[in-house]
Structure formats: structure tokens, C-alpha cells
Amino acid sequence: MTRIRTLYELQLIDTQIARLEAALAALDDGTTLRGRVQQAHAVEETARSDLQAGQARLRDLELELQSTVGKATKVEGDLYSGRISNPKELRAMQEDVEALGRQRQRIEEEMLTLMEEVERQLEQIRRLEAERQARDRELDEHLEDYTTRQRALTAELEAARRHREALAAEADPGFLRRYERLRSRKDGVAVTAVNGSVCNACHMTVPEAVLNAARESDDVHTCEDCGRILYVPNE
Ligand SMILES: [Zn+2]
């Protein structure tokens, strides 16, 4: 391989390495999806604790109801036992029974409202759970895909770097230094092929004399317009 051809090969592999590095850096590691998953979990958790609060209140009301019914039964039992004949006392007991009846009604109404609420919350939780599971699956699938791509790109990059190292060892040391300096100044492209008589990098026409010189000697010839090293493929 000629010295210029080696530089050109080096350029190709460096361009490939830059492309692979950019592709690796651009891979989405799932940050956005992970945020959505966490949000879905948080929303579901809130709904579950609301449900638990509702269910706990319902249990309290059930106990309250039992106690109220128990009290009413007892007062009614006394009232109709015939043991008490004092009208004042009987009236007071009658009022107690009525008050307990109103209390019972109030509790039962609250329980009914709460049961509807709990039913609604259960339905909402089923929906949130399904959404959250869909988000979880979405993230899992994304991460699987991400890992596959990342492994493939990393393997490709490692191979390209090994190839690059071998080429750099083959290159003329003086040419290589010049190549590196030019590459850092020229946006990563130090060597460009000539297509017909046009510079592939800047698309300007390369003078015939320069082309001929580049064909005839294995030295560095640069594009007069963009300053890059010219590689003229054999026709
Ligand atoms: Zn050029």
C-alpha cells in the first residue's frame, strides 16, 4: 500500500470511528421512559393509598353501625319489655330510639357513598395498573433493544480501533503527524479522495497539474481550496 493510500485508509477508519462514537452517544438509555414508569408507579401508589383510606373508613363505619344497631336493639328491648312504666322515662327512651335511628341512617348513607367511591377507586386502580404494566413492558423492551444496539456498536467500535491502530503503525510517521494536525483542524477530515477531478470534500475542481503530481508521486499533495490531502484512486 502506498503511503497516501495508507493515510486514506486511516481516514476512512477514523470517519467510521467518529460515526460509531456518535451513534453510541446518541443511544437513548431509557431515561425518558424510566421517568414515565416512575410517574406511573407514583400515580398508582397514590390511588392505592386513597383506596386503603376509603376501605379503612368503611370498616370504622361498619363498627359504628353495629354499635348503633346494638344500642337501638337494647333500648327497644327495654322499651317494649313492660318493665318500665314511667311515661317520662318511656318518652326519653323513645327519643333515644329515634335518635339512634337517625344516626343509623346517617351512617348507612355515608357507607353507601363510600362504597360507590371504593368501587370507582378499584376500577381506576385496575386501569392505572394496566397502564403502569404497559409502561414497564415498554421500558423493558426499550432496554433490551438498547443493550443489543450498544453491544453491537461497541464491538464494531473496538474492531475499528484495532484496525486503526494497525494502520497507524504502518503509516509514515511524518505523514501521520501531518494527518493528525490536519484532521483536528478540518473537522475530522484530513484526507479526501478525488472524484474524477473534483475534491470530494469541498467539491472544487483540482487543477490538472496537481492531479498529475499526485498520481506520479507518493507524496502529500493538498487541495488548493480546502487544504486537505488528496488521494487520487487508480482509474
Ligand atoms: Zn478540497
209 in the same domain as 106: no
**How many whole angstroms separate alpha carbon 158 and alpha carbon 148?**
15
Calculate how far, in angstroms, residue 195's C-alpha sits from the geometric centre of ligand 1.
11
Write the single-letter amino acid at 197.
S
- Ramachandran assignment for 229, one of left (phi > 0), alpha (psi -120 to 50 degrees), beta (any other): beta
* Domain membership flag for residue 222: yes
* Residue 91 resides in a domain: yes
Q: Find the mean pLDDT for residues 100-128.
A: 97
Q: For residue 155, is it within any domain?
A: yes
- Within a domain: 7: no
Q: Are residues 148 and 184 in the same domain?
A: no
CA angle 29, 30, 33 (to 5 degrees): 170
Q: What is the pLDDT of residues 184-201, one digit of tens each?
A: 999 999 999 999 999 999
Q: What average pLDDT does range 6-12 have in this prediction?
A: 97
> What is the domain-level CATH number for residue 114?
1.10.287.1700
Q: Clarify whether residues 105 and 48 are in a common domain.
A: yes
For the segment 105-125, the average pLDDT, to the nearest whole number, is 97
Query: With contact defined as beta carbons under 8 Å apart, do 78 and 84 qualify?
Result: yes
> 178 CA to middle of ligand 1, Å?
16
pLDDT tens readout for residues 130-166: 999 999 999 999 999 999 999 999 999 999 999 999 9
**In the block, residue with C-alpha cell 496537481:** 210
What burial letters (b/e) apply to 156-181, b meaning 16+ CB within 10 Å?
A: bbeebeebbeebbeebbeebbebbee
Task: Classify residue 16: in a domain, yes or no.
Answer: no
CA of 74 to the centre of ligand 1 (A): 105
Write out the residues surrounding ion ligand 1, Cβ under 5 A. 199, 201-202, 223, 225-226
Q: Examine the domain organization and report whether 141 and 210 are in the same domain.
A: no
pTM equals 0.75
Q: Rounded to an integer, what is the distance from CA 82 to the centroid of its chain?
A: 76
Q: What count of Cα atoms within 13 Å lies in the side-chain half-sphere of residue 145?
A: 10
Check whether residue 63 and residue 105 sit in a common domain.
Answer: yes
The domain boundary residue, chosen from 119, 141, 170: 170
Nearest C-alpha neighbor of 56 from the set 121, 127, 125: 121
Regarding whether 193 and 82 lie in a shared domain, the answer is no
Domain around 187: 173-231
Residue at which a domain ends, from 144, 170, 196: 170
210 and 97 co-located in one domain: no
Query: Do 154 and 209 share a domain, yes or no?
Result: no
Ligand 1 centre and the CA of 217: distance in Å? 19
2 in a structural domain? no
Quote the number of domains for the chain. 2
